[in-house]
Structure 1
Amino acid sequence: MKLALFGENRLGVVTDDGAGGLVDVTAVLPAHDPDPVTAGWWRALCRDFHALRAQLEAAAKAGPALPLDGVRLRAPVLNPSKIIACACNYRDHVTEMHDVQQRTLGHVESWMMDFDVFLKAPSSISGPADDIVLPAEVVAAGQEIHHESELVIVIGSGGRDIPEDTALDHVLGYTVGLDITVRSAADRSRRKSYDTFSPIGPWVTTADEAGDPADFQIDLVRNGDDHRQHVNTRDFITPVAAIVSYASRMMTLLPGDVVFTGAPPGVGPIQAGDSLETRISRLGAMTLRVAR
């Protein structure tokens, strides 16, 4: 099932990879509050999805379907308690970061070349219809701002100290994300937490429909013909189940939490006026404009 948020944070089910449109299933929810600050209904849906699934499927079949080009899709996550992001999860990206850091910092921070997790501000989330807005002070300082197209996990039931062999049972589904990053000497969380620096979309594909998370093809194309990123998640250093288990040993994962799984190789600078098309097989695609 493909779950989308649209309009005034209403819940829709996307049919036929979007070709058949979107059906509003908000009425199925036990409680719905469009206020994005509270968002308890969304977190409850992530936690209770399996109990609600049959009702959602029935409502989606009953229709009617709305054309996707007639609605404004929102980020398909709502006010998560945290965004967890992975660093250095592809060996080729680790290699390229030596050159990136040498160019942008004048030296290589060796401690940053190991896999780990860090936090991004939830307020950095934006949706598939929103622009990526470059911070004026960063642009004025001449610092590079890079795209990082990534597989994103949305947590379902959550938990703490989750065993790796059952970790995928705690995943609601997957979506497409961009981890926009300032290249500077500042802390990762600071460089990656500006507003609009976590575009997510176009919808969440539930884990059962998405299939094997070790076989997603990730691509990013800049300005229509500059194919910068092309990688498969089978190349992860730390696979999805291990990421979820590892993160849960440090912090309790709550329903609706978001996990960026790490940048593939091919990261590069973006500037105002660019168009970024990012897509992941079986999950969808979104095209975003870069603005100032």
Structure 2
Amino acid sequence: MNLDLAYRSFVLSVAGKKEVERLIKTRARGLVRRYVAGESLEEALKVAEALEGEGVHAILDLLGEMVKDEGEARAFQERILELVRAVALRPWPKYVSLKPSQLGLDLSEGLARELLREVLKEAEPRGVFVRLDMEDSPRVEGTLRLYKAMREEGFSLLGIVLQSYLFRTEKDFFDLLPYRPNLRLVKGAYREPKEVAFWDKRLIDAEFLHLGKLALKEGLYVAFATHDPRLIAEVKRYAEAMGIPKEGFEFQMLYGVRPEAQRRLAQEGYTVRAYVPYGKDWYPYLTRRIAERPENLLLVLRSLLGG
């Protein structure tokens, strides 16, 4: 197994143990602020305001996923609507991200459609763009159906995400083409079995560039979500060679990760957005960040030792 994928698999496996979760939640909360804007919407808006001052736009995301009952899904929807209304009042670009499982996708696609429809009815007239996040592989099919259904109902300020580590993604890309999607391209951060996903980082990176170039050739607007300097440089070279203007795509990174690179790209004239998560349900998000780089695990260990 590729060492990077072995590391990620190990971290996600250990992080799933209840005793580890309790330890991190009680002793490493200081580390959370490196990657999470805070637990309240007000804290997240302050972070977004500061990023705007640096030329970096914010993608605001209320943390939470995989709800267990309809009441919880409806409660999440109310908080997402609160986010949409708050963002709509800001003078900077209006952009939010949400997970289908927050809105009850695991319970019923009909429920998820109903709740997402109500969010989009609030967001679209206010000029708020909504990105429908992609979760782990069992939820991909339902998420794509949800996206297509909303587009067929006439909602245009809705984007989708594709993950380059899944075998199925190129087929999904061509299935989505008739919808002319605003596409966020990511490598993928979930622990997936080798039957459905590449485990070799070189192949994942190659697929990332392959899919991104296909999308640009098709004239789609693509958000390249990566911190990898090599991949960023290749996207820039390809776009320049193909005569694609900087306005035809963008780069997206995570809040707290390579902020200097975010500012530098913005200064070069590229659109750059930082994914700004907030909320009390931060543990699953944090574990996926830890699993991305061994350096992040060292930060956790230092935080635990320091209390």
Of Structure 1 and Structure 2, which has the larger fraction of its residues in helix?
Answer: 2
What is the TM-score of this pair, normalised by structure 2?
Answer: 0.27
Of Structure 1 and Structure 2, which has the larger fraction of its residues in strand?
Answer: 1
What is the TM-score of this pair, normalised by structure 1?
Answer: 0.28
